[in-house]
Amino acid sequence: MQDGTEKKAGEENYGEQNVITLSWNEHIRQRPGMYIGKLGDGTSEDDGIYVLIKEVIDNSVDEFGEGYGKNIIINIEDRTVTVRDYGRGIPLGKVVECASVMNTGGKFDNRAFHKAVGLNGVGIKAVNALSSDFYIQSFREGITTRAEFSKGELLSQRSNESTGEKNGTLIRFVADDSLFTDYQYNFDYIERRLRDYSYLNPGLSLVLNGKEFSSKDGLLDLLNDKLGDDNALYPPIHLKGDDIEIALTHGRNYGEEIYSFVNGQNTTQGGTHLSAFREAVAKEFKDFFKKDFDPADSRESIVAAVSVKVEDPIFESQTKTKLGSREMYKDGPSVRNYVVDFVTRELDNYLHKNLDVADIILKKIQESENIRKSNVATSKAIRERAKRTSLHNKKLRDCNIHYNDKNPLAEETTIFLTEGDSASGSITTSRDADTQAVFSLRGKPANCFKASKKKIVYENEEFNLLIAALNIGEDLDNLRYNKVVIATDADVDGMHIRLLLLTFFLKFFPELVRKGHVYILQTPLFRVQSKKDNVYCYNSAEKDVAVKKIGADAEITRFKGLGEISPSEFRGFIGKDMHLDLVKLYPDDSVNELMEFYMGDNTPDRQNFIRTYLRTEVENTEEENI
């Protein structure tokens, strides 16, 4: 500029023409993450296509909660999802508005819906805007109104026609494949969610493509199904009250396994109600047995489910995975006080009436206490030695931000667990030092499948160092990294180390897996290059495509270990688009059975399993090549 000042980037182009107002559906389509989380392709249970289904079913379940409609029929054929309930039906004059006008709904004043999970007048609108085809129809007292949309734009509507259909609402949609690319529905994910709906709404029947999900005893059924045979120390305690239901027992695994729900929503990230339950259980055991038990000893190996119903619950996002603080009733007790009072009163009554169960619980708590106390000194000494070892060998290359920081980047914090110095060196050189840490393993860790907690958690130096790095103990409250990524070589030894680490987490810290913190890093197996191109391939099929594209001068490199990948290359593999596979532990998975199969003495069974699935994989590959 002539006056010697320098214009900032974009200053000349920024004017009134740059300030725009988006329509409701354009905003949802441009910022879908605000409404349904990540888009995804259906491979993860929290992908957006499952949130769309949930938003529709939530409204039908809310109808049942108000006493209308005991059946919900869901059909999914290819990519078309249809949900029909038999509730009251949307008021006929508001069908189009409920599907296409933001902040429109019947759940704002608590008169028609008292304790619903659908609250913000957003869910169905998000489904509509993110669908290439959306159809909605309401049936009320022999009259029906219907409307069709595409990407939120109204295509047609027909109002107040006669019908012989029963009251209720029908919604049909196809998620827009220009947003959800190459997506497919995993029916295991959908069925698990329907099963949860049935546990939380005894008497409700949900039918998916002809398969029914229903429950008679609610959370008691949930706990029994998740525990399986012979995994509970005593029959689950089942407590029910106004707007609250609890089932709990102690199992044979380590750690805590607590499922929490608010108004039928699975609050996977917990919140006020879960914290109150954990606090109340520990306090009640302490008061009942008149012993100053450590809360962690009281809750060691506990398996429980907690469900509360709340007016105007405050969730931390539209996906409703964590409950914030809120009154239980207007001018009534807080959620925390309501849960604590209920648990204290009802659990105390149960224990006085069931002294045999109380005796089992006492012995379990004392066993946990004895193990912990007998190893406190040993653990402390090893931790101190481990910290000194870490400092000397630089086994932990920490990052600047940690998971519990209030920094917006805390959610991105990651620790890579690597084998050997060369691999950890490559990642350390390539990483983002603000959010990515590296922990270097010293060879293969111990197989802890048959080992005691004393031997592994308190006495094993390598695992002590890892526990100290993650900052985990009896709970995950102070976990330092959101993602714990196992980054091992793509060879037999690397796979073995991966299994050994997973066994450690599953046995002693299963909540780390259940809460979705553990991942596997996938790095390229091949580099196909020419003078002009470098193509990185994660499997043989991708390699074959790359070779065919590049032609005869293609040079193929097979990466055996992470240390063979240069830091400059590695930077692209651990960046924003790195390939991570979430380690999933489903609610109905038995940790004991999983570890027994994969890490036990049943070598012939595992060999047969490998041969069967290897043969299937080869046959499928051959068919694709044909």
The active-site residue, picked from 85, 176, 221, 419, is 419
User: Strand, coil or helix: what is 326?
Assistant: coil
Q: What are phi and psi of 80, to 5 degrees?
A: -95, 120
| Residue 491 appears among annotated catalytic residues | yes
The torsion of the CA quartet 415, 418, 421, 423, rounded to 10 degrees, works out to: -100
Question: Beta strand 153-162 with 143-150: parallel, antiparallel or unpaired?
Answer: antiparallel
Neighbouring C-alpha atoms within 13 Å toward the C-beta of 107? 24
What does the radius of gyration of the chain's CA atoms come to, in whole angstroms?
27
Location of structure tokens 């197989």: 447
| Residue 601 appears among annotated catalytic residues | no
Give me the amino acid identity at 384.
Answer: E
Helix (H) or strand (E) holding 507: helix 492-508
233: left (phi over 0), alpha (psi -120 to 50) or beta: alpha
Helix (H) or strand (E) holding 72: strand 71-77
Angle made by CA atoms 178, 181, 187, in degrees to the nearest 5: 125
The active-site residue, picked from 384, 491, 555, 619, is 491
Counting every residue written for the chain, the total comes to: 626
| Residue 419 appears among annotated catalytic residues | yes
- From the list 134, 298, 267, the residue with the least C-alpha distance to 196 is 267
Instruction: Extract the tokens encoding 233.
Output: 């120390």
**Residue 287 pairs with which residues in a beta bridge?**
none
**Residue 519 pairs with which residues in a beta bridge?**
485, 582
185: left (phi over 0), alpha (psi -120 to 50) or beta: beta
Sheet with 436-441, edge to edge strand ranges = 396-397, 436-441, 414-419, 483-487, 518-522, 579-582
Tell me if 561 sits within 8 A of 426, measured CB to CB: no
Instruction: Extract the tokens encoding 237.
Output: 């305690």
Q: Which residues contact 448 (CB under 8 A, 6 or more apart)?
A: 455, 456, 460, 463, 500, 503, 504, 507, 508
User: Strand, coil or helix: what is 267?
Assistant: coil
Location of structure tokens 């029914």: 212
| Residue 489 appears among annotated catalytic residues | yes
- From the list 161, 86, 100, 162, the residue with the least C-alpha distance to 128 is 100
d(CA 253, CA 232): 9
Instruction: Extract the tokens encoding 95.
Output: 């069908």
The dihedral built from the CA positions of residue 286, 290, 294 and 296, taken in this order, carries a sign that is: negative
Instruction: Extract the tokens encoding 290.
Output: 């008149």
Tell me if 455 sits within 8 A of 374, measured CB to CB: no
- From the list 540, 457, 541, 441, the residue with the least C-alpha distance to 493 is 441
d(CA 63, CA 83): 13
d(CA 432, CA 447): 32
The active-site residue, picked from 493, 544, 581, 589, is 493
For residues 310-330, one letter each, b for 16 or more C-beta atoms within 10 angstroms of the residue's C-beta and e for the rest, the string is bbebbbeebbbbbbeebbbee
Which residues are designated catalytic? Answer: 419, 489, 491, 493
